Amino acid sequence: MYTINAMPDPLPKELIDLFQTVETATIGHWHLFGFMDRRIQSLVRGKRVVGTAVTIAIPASDSTLLHHATGMLRPGDVAVVDRLGDDKHACWGGGVTVAAKAAGAAGAIVDGPCTDLAEIEASDFPIWARGLSSITTRLHDLGGGLNIPVSCGGVAVFPGDLILGDESGVLVLRREEAEAIGRKALEIQERGGQREKQVRDGLARLGDLSGASAKVLARMNAA
């Protein structure tokens, strides 16, 4: 059985633009939710992605629905693939990459292994996954879900969520919370850049700026 729902509304361009330089690790300084399992890592070094989540759930050794879904992807979409617990079969390889890229998709997140790494690297397509496997899926026609709530990397992902991926990992944000989080992250990055310049130029020490040295000295003086 297949459950296929309507495609989510694309995220506003202003929101996508806001996150172009936001780092997942900056948000990780204070935000606790939405971070996928750290074992889901970028397969193409140096890539980052910001886009609208299109969710796909496919079972075990079957990727029939994934092949169909690539024809529905739009520019700016990020395919988020829930493998329903399977960690053996690679559902994503060179052919699926070609199809997703041709549709204009911004990237993909796969809660399982991929294959054809050389082809993925050559395509320069941003994709995050749980490593690689030479055992691939087939077209078994077992069913699945498109644009339904899924679990990816231990995180609930809904169609239309904002996906932010970089070399540190993948973060999922509800669109209604994303703007405030993005703006706070940019402010922190701006302050961090200024602090790093002071340290680099020899004008200050990191421990003094962060407050760590004051904590250490206070504990030592109290001993």
Asked whether residue 94 carries a pLDDT value surpassing 80, the answer given is yes
- pLDDT for the residue 104: 97
- pLDDT for the residue 34: 98
Asked whether residue 223 carries a pLDDT value surpassing 90, the answer given is no
Asked whether residue 62 carries a pLDDT value surpassing 80, the answer given is yes
Asked whether residue 157 carries a pLDDT value surpassing 80, the answer given is yes
Structure tokens at 19: 């996150």
For 182-186, the CB contacts below 8 A with 24+ separation are 182/15, 182/18, 182/19, 182/22, 183/18, 184/30, 185/22, 185/23, 185/26, 185/27, 186/18, 186/21, 186/22
Asked whether residue 73 carries a pLDDT value surpassing 90, the answer given is yes
For residues 133 and 90, the answer to whether their CB atoms sit within 8 Å is: yes
| Phi-psi group of 95: left, alpha or beta (phi > 0 → left; psi -120 to 50 → alpha; rest → beta) | alpha
Asked whether residue 125 carries a pLDDT value surpassing 90, the answer given is yes
Residues of the chain with pLDDT > 70, as a percent, come to: 100
Asked whether residue 219 carries a pLDDT value surpassing 80, the answer given is yes
For residues 163 and 51, the answer to whether their CB atoms sit within 8 Å is: yes
DSSP state for residue 162 in the 8-state scheme: E
Asked whether residue 82 carries a pLDDT value surpassing 80, the answer given is yes
pLDDT band at 208 (very low <50, low <70, confident <90, very high): very high
Structure tokens at 2: 């297949």
- pLDDT for the residue 109: 98
Asked whether residue 118 carries a pLDDT value surpassing 90, the answer given is yes
pLDDT band at 153 (very low <50, low <70, confident <90, very high): very high
For residues 57 and 151, the answer to whether their CB atoms sit within 8 Å is: no
Virtual CA dihedral for 12, 13, 18, 23, nearest 10 degrees?
90
- Residue 158 CA: distances (Å) to CA of 147, 148, 163: 7, 7, 10
Give the C-alpha separation, 184 to 22, whole Å.
10
- Segment 5-43, tens digit of pLDDT: 999 999 999 999 999 999 999 999 999 999 999 999 999
